[in-house]
Amino acid sequence: MDGPELQSLYLSLQRYAGWLGRDRVSGTVRADVQALGAAIGTGADASASLELLDADIARLPGGDLRKLLRVTAGHIRLAITGPR
């Protein structure tokens, strides 16, 4: 996946994170998304940011928004690392 597609996925993830509530876990997920964006923007290894994001998404209450976040983060992982 090239840069524009990765950027599009990240923007979707950022938008979904913006829909989260104002509780502590939601704030943590939003911070994780920002850290992931910084890693992607600088070309740094984003795997640690993705792992932390995945763990914090799992702490969110179940629902459609959690699923959107998880799926989009998975697509970003594939875009960065390629298929396993």
Q: Does 30 score more than 60 pLDDT?
A: yes
Domain layout of the chain by residue ranges: 3-81
Convert the pLDDT of each residue in 6-23 to its tens digit: 999 999 999 999 999 999
Q: Across all residues in the chain, what is the average pLDDT? A: 94
Contact predicate 46/39, CB 8 Å: yes
**What is the pLDDT at residue 2?**
57
* Identity at 79, one-letter amino acid code: A
Q: State if pTM tops 0.85.
A: yes
Higher-confidence position of 81 and 72: 72
Tokens of 33: 């998304």
72: Cβ–Cβ under 8 A, 6 or more apart, which residues? Answer: 9, 12, 13, 16
The DSSP element (H or E) to which 40 belongs, if any, is: helix 24-42
